[in-house]
Amino acid sequence: MKPNPIHHSRRDFVKLSTAAIAGLSPLAGGIPAPVFAAGNDRFRVGIIGCGNRGSGAAANVLEADPAVEIVAVADPLGDRIEAFKAKVETLCQKLPGSPFQRLKLTPDTTFVGFDAYKKLLAIDPLDLVVICSPVAFHSLHLEACVRAGKNAFMEKPAAVDPVGARRVIAAGELAKQKGLAVGTGTQRRHEAVYLQNYRAVADGAIGKIVSGRIWWCGGDPRKVLERVEGEDDAHLMVRNWYQYVEMCGDHIVEQHVHNIDVANWFIGRPPQLAMGFGARTRRKLGNRYDFFSVDFDYGDDLTVHSMSRQINGCYQRIGEHLVGTKGSVMPGGKITGTGIKSKPDKDAANPYVQEHVDLIHSIREGKPLNEARGIAEASLAAIMGRISAYTGQVIRWTDLTERTDSPWYSLALKPGPEDFEAGPISIPPTGVVPLPGAA
C-alpha cells in the first residue's frame, strides 16, 4: 500500500506538542503548569450551539482568560438560549471571581434558527467562535468561520462522513493561509499526564510501539426522545441529535474518537485500514448501533484493537493502552519502560480549560494553533471503522481520502447540514440500521 501523503512522523508531533505548550512553567517533576493568556484587552467570543457542551465550553473559556467576554450566541432552538444562560451561571458559581458577569448577551446578539450562525459571524469584532453544534454541522460552521476571518474552536469530532471530514481539512488549510487559529475538542492533547507520557514515548521510553488497545465502553441514559409540541422533524433531530447517525456519526465517531485520536497521536499516523463488526439489539431510539469492535491496521505490523459500547449495566472502561518493545503505557496514566523519572501529575490543570488557555495564548502571540487536520484524521479513522462494521467489508484509508472511485469516498449522510437551512427534512425511521453483508 502506498504511503499516505498526510502522515506525520512521531518527531513531527513532538514539535507540535512542544509548540502547543510553549510558555508553560515546569512544576516539580517537569510537568507543565497551566498558563493563562496575558493581556487585559477584551477578548470577544461567540458560541454556536447552546446545548450541554455549549454551556460547558462557555464556562471553560470564561475560566481560561479573565479578558474573555461572551458577546453572542446562536442556536436553532430558541428555548435553548435561556437554559444556556442558567447553566453557565450555575457552572460559573464554582469559579473564583464573577465570570458570569462576562456573559454579555443582548437581543441583538442572540440568534435563533438554522441560519443563526451566519448572523453571529457577521458581528465584528469577534475574536473567537466556539462551535458546539451537533456534529453534522461542524464542517459547515468551521468553514463559515474561517471564510469570515474568525478564529475558531470546534468541538470534536470533525464530521459524520468522509466528505465532511475532508471539508474540515480544507478549512484548516485555509485558516493557515489566513493566519487564523483552529482549536478542537481533543482536550487530552492539552492534559499534563498525556503530554508527559507522550514526550516519554516519543523519546523512546517504551521502544517501538507494536500493538495497542483502546476503549470507550459505557452506557446510554437516554430512554425517550425530547419533544416540543408542534416542532417539525428538523428541530426534533437537532433536539435529539445524539440518537441519529446522520447527526452524530454513531458513538464510535462521537465518543470513541477521543481514544482513536490518542492512538494516532502517540503512533504518529492514522490507520491504513479497518476491519470490524457491530450490532444493534437493545436500543429503542434512533438508528445507532449498540457496540463496535474494530481492528485498526497502522501498517508496519502494528494493529490497535478498538472497542466501543453503549449498553447499560455492563462493565465500563474508557482509555488507551499501547505496548512497545521496551515497555507499555496507559497514555492517561501509568507508563513502564526505560528512563522514566517521574510519575504523572493527575492534579494538573483542567484540560477542558487548558485547551482554551493554549488556543487564546496562541492567538494573542500571533502563533495560531491549528488542530483541524488531527481531529479530521481521527474522525476519518472512526468513520472508517463504522463503515467496516456496517458493511462487513475491509475499508482502507485511501477509500476515504484518495480513491475517488471508491464507493465510500463521496459518502455524505443525508440530511446534510445545508439541508436543514433549505428544509423541510424527514426524520430517519427508528431502528432501521445497516446489515453487514447487505449494506
Q: Which long-range contacts (CB under 8 A, 24 or more apart) does 10-14 make?
A: 10/201, 10/202, 10/266, 10/267, 10/268, 11/202, 11/268, 12/268, 13/198, 13/202, 13/265, 13/268, 14/198, 14/199, 14/202
- φ/ψ of residue 404, rounded to 5: -65, -15
More confident residue, 269 or 439: 269
CA–chain centroid gap for 121, Å, is 21
Mean of per-residue pLDDT scores for the chain:
91
Q: What percent of the chain has pLDDT over 90?
A: 86
pLDDT score for 340: 84
The three-state secondary structure class of 218 is strand
**Given this model, what pLDDT does residue 41 score?**
84
Question: Once rounded to an integer, what is the mean pLDDT over residues 340-368?
Answer: 89
Q: Residue 315 pLDDT more than 90?
A: yes
Q: Please report the pLDDT score of residue 190 as a whole number.
A: 97
59-78 tens-digit pLDDT:
999 999 999 999 999 999 99
For residues 261-276, give the mean pLDDT: 98
pTM of the predicted model, to two decimals? 0.91
> Would you say residue 84 has pLDDT above 60?
yes
Percent of the chain with pLDDT over 70: 90
| Secondary structure in 3-state letters for 131-152 | ECCCHHHHHHHHHHHHHCCCCE
Q: Name the one residue in this structure whose C-alpha cell is 459500547.
A: 309
pLDDT score for 341: 75
Name the phi and psi angles at 362, rounded to 5: -65, -35
CA neighbours closer than 13 Å in the CB half-sphere of residue 96: 3
What does the H/E/C string look like for 332-350?
Answer: CCCEECCCCCCCCCCCCCC
What are the tens digits of pLDDT across the range 211-234?
A: 999 999 999 888 899 999 999 999
∠ CA 203-206-209 to the nearest 5 degrees? Answer: 100
Alpha helix (H) residue ranges in 5-95: 10-20, 52-64, 79-92
Is 24's pLDDT higher than 70? no
What does the pLDDT read at residue 343?
72
- DSSP E strand stretches across 346-427: 395-396
Q: Of 429, 376, 391, give the one whose Cα is nearest residue 244.
A: 429
> Quick one: pLDDT band at residue 35, thresholds 50, 70, 90?
very low
405 has pLDDT over 50: yes
Nearest CA to 264 among 322, 206, 328? Answer: 322
- pLDDT surpassing 80 at residue 9: no
d(Cα 224, Cα 234) in Å, to the nearest integer? 17
**H or E segment to which residue 324 belongs:** strand 317-324
Give dist(CA 69, CA 42) in Å, integer.
7
Amino acid residing at 272: Q
Domains of the chain: 10-189+352-372 (3.40.50.720), 207-341+378-422 (3.30.360.10)
For residue 3, give the C-alpha cell.
Answer: 504511503
Confidence of residue 40 (pLDDT cuts 50, 70, 90): low
- Cα Rg of the chain (Å, integer): 21
Q: What is the mean pLDDT of residues 385-407?
A: 98
Cell matching residue 163: 466528505
For residue 365 the three cell numbers come to 502571540
Judge whether residue 2 has pLDDT over 50. Answer: no
Q: What pLDDT band is residue 210 in, cutting at 50, 70 and 90? A: very high
Please, which residues bridge with residue 161 across strands? none
Instruction: Calculate the CA 317 to chain-centre distance.
Output: 19
Q: What are phi and psi of 429, to 5 degrees?
A: -65, 145
Nearest CA to 222 among 198, 239, 199, 205? 239
Report helix, strand or coil for 327: coil
> What is the pLDDT, as a whole number, of residue 347?
67
Query: Is 34 a residue whose pLDDT tops 90?
Result: no
Q: Which residues touch 19 (CB under 8 Å, ≥6 apart)?
A: 367, 369
